[in-house]
């Protein structure tokens, strides 16, 4: 399951290397089959961040069952990244029905805005649909080793640089793992929080050439805190103590 998630993200990254677009909406889990208590993470790139900011005010968001029932989605949390990226964590307003299929709907979308998912087997885009095929997941992620800094990555790409701080860890869970990272710059007091997808062994904080949750400035220190939650909302403990990291490479110029 996790391989599918990361392979789809990898393909998105490869396509982005050719040219940066102006917008994009992406929904997770990327798998079609979910548990009955699954949350949904909706991410907006570029101009699509405006949609996330207006969910359930300008843009009603809900799950539409094949039976025609609307299940409202409540915005549990909204996070704004530092480089053209934002996310909304959505929770169904009622329990999802086992065996039922649902389509993720956002009404009144602006012109040119779409919410679709690429089906690699069919070679085409389709609506974002989920089938509830698993009972409620109540198992908390198991933290076996806390994240430790592994390396800094910096590289020039077609539309600009990528810059990531890589961490290694060991967290076990049967559902999609969301790592809530809070990065604070002690000098200015600036703090940014964002959920990052992980396979449980590796974690990357930063940005690609087009977008990303975090930007780091050369020569500065940052304190990073992590907490761990799966896509069903189960949390592992209270999170980690602050981890101090130092940035050596040049940062991207972000307007």
Whether the Cβ atoms of residue 160 and residue 249 lie closer than 8 Å to each other: no
Predicted confidence at residue 121, as pLDDT, reads: 87
Please state, for a pLDDT cut of 90, what percent of the chain lies above it: 84
Instruction: Tell me how far apart the alpha carbons of residues 189 and 159 are, in angstroms, rounded to a whole number.
Output: 30
Burial pattern 78-103, b for ≥16 Cβ within 10 A else e, equals: ebebbbbbbbbbbebeeebeeebbbe
Predicted confidence at residue 250, as pLDDT, reads: 67
CA torsion through residues 248, 143, 93, 8, sign: positive
Instruction: Tell me how far apart the alpha carbons of residues 38 and 254 are, in angstroms, rounded to a whole number.
Output: 34
Does position 211 have pLDDT exceeding 60, yes or no? yes
Predicted confidence at residue 10, as pLDDT, reads: 37
Cβ neighbors of 211 (< 8 A, separation 6 or more) are: 20, 45, 46, 81, 83, 84, 85
For the chain, domain boundaries: 2-9+22-134, 142-246
Does position 3 have pLDDT exceeding 60, yes or no? no
Any idea what the Cα angle at residue 105 is, between residues 129 and 173, rounded to 5°?
50
Query: Which CATH architecture best describes the domain 142-246?
Result: Sandwich (2.60)
Ramachandran category for residue 84: left, alpha or beta (phi over 0 → left; psi -120 to 50 → alpha): left
Burial pattern 18-44, b for ≥16 Cβ within 10 A else e, equals: eebeebbbbbbbbbeebbbbbbbbbbb
What pLDDT digit, counting tens, does each position of 17-53 carry?
Answer: 347 989 999 999 999 999 999 999 999 999 999 999 9
Tokens of 7: 């392979």
DSSP 121: T
What pLDDT digit, counting tens, does each position of 95-114 carry?
Answer: 999 999 999 999 999 999 99
Mean pLDDT lowest for which of 36-40, 64-68, 155-159, 183-187?
Answer: 155-159
Tokens of 46: 């570029």
Question: For residue 40, which of 214, 246, 240, 230 has the smallest C-alpha distance?
Answer: 230
Does position 74 have pLDDT exceeding 80, yes or no? yes
Tokens of 73: 């989605």
Predicted confidence at residue 18, as pLDDT, reads: 47
DSSP 16: H
Domains 2-9+22-134 and 142-246 share a fold: yes
What pLDDT digit, counting tens, does each position of 142-170 carry?
Answer: 999 999 999 999 999 888 899 999 999 99
**Mean of pLDDT over the chain:** 91
pLDDT grade, residue 1 (50/70/90)?
very low
Does position 5 have pLDDT exceeding 50, yes or no? no
What pLDDT digit, counting tens, does each position of 6-27 carry?
Answer: 433 433 443 333 479 899 999 9
CA torsion through residues 9, 116, 106, 134, sign: negative
Predicted confidence at residue 251, as pLDDT, reads: 55
pLDDT grade, residue 255 (50/70/90)?
very low
Q: Is 84 helix (H, G, I), strand (E, B) or coil?
A: coil
Question: For residue 155, which of 204, 85, 90 has the smallest C-alpha distance?
Answer: 204
Q: Is 54 helix (H, G, I), strand (E, B) or coil?
A: coil
pLDDT grade, residue 56 (50/70/90)?
very high
Query: Which CATH architecture best describes the domain 2-9+22-134?
Result: Sandwich (2.60)
What mean pLDDT do residues 242-250 have?
A: 91
Predicted confidence at residue 131, as pLDDT, reads: 98
């Amino acid at each position: 399951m996790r391989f599918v998630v990361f392979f789809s993200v990898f393909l998105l990254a490869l396509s982005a290397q050719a040219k940066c677009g102006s917008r994009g909406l992406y929904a997770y889990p990327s798998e079609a089959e979910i548990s009955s208590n699954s949350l949904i993470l909706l991410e907006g790139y570029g101009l699509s961040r405006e949609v996330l900011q207006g969910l359930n005010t300008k843009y009603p968001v809900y799950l539409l069952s094949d039976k025609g029932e609307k299940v409202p989605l409540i915005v549990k949390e909204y996070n704004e990244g530092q480089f053209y990226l934002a996310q909304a964590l959505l929770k169904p307003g009622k329990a999802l029905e086992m065996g039922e299929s649902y389509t993720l709907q956002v009404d009144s979308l602006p012109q040119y805005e779409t919410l679709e998912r690429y089906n690699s087997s069919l070679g085409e885009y389709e609506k974002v649909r989920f089938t509830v095929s698993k009972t409620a997941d109540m198992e908390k992620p198991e933290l076996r080793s806390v994240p430790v800094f592994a390396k800094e990555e910096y590289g020039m790409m077609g539309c600009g640089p990528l810059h990531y701080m890589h961490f290694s860890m060991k967290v076990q869970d049967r559902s999609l793992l969301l790592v809530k990272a809070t990065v604070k710059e002690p000098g200015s007091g600036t703090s940014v929080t964002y959920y990052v997808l992980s396979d449980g062994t590796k974690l990357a904080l930063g940005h690609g050439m087009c977008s990303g949750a975090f930007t780091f400035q050369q020569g500065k220190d940052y304190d990073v805190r992590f907490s761990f939650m799966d896509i069903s909302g189960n949390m592992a403990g209270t999170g980690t103590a602050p981890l101090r990291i130092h940035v050596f490479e040049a940062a991207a110029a972000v307007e």
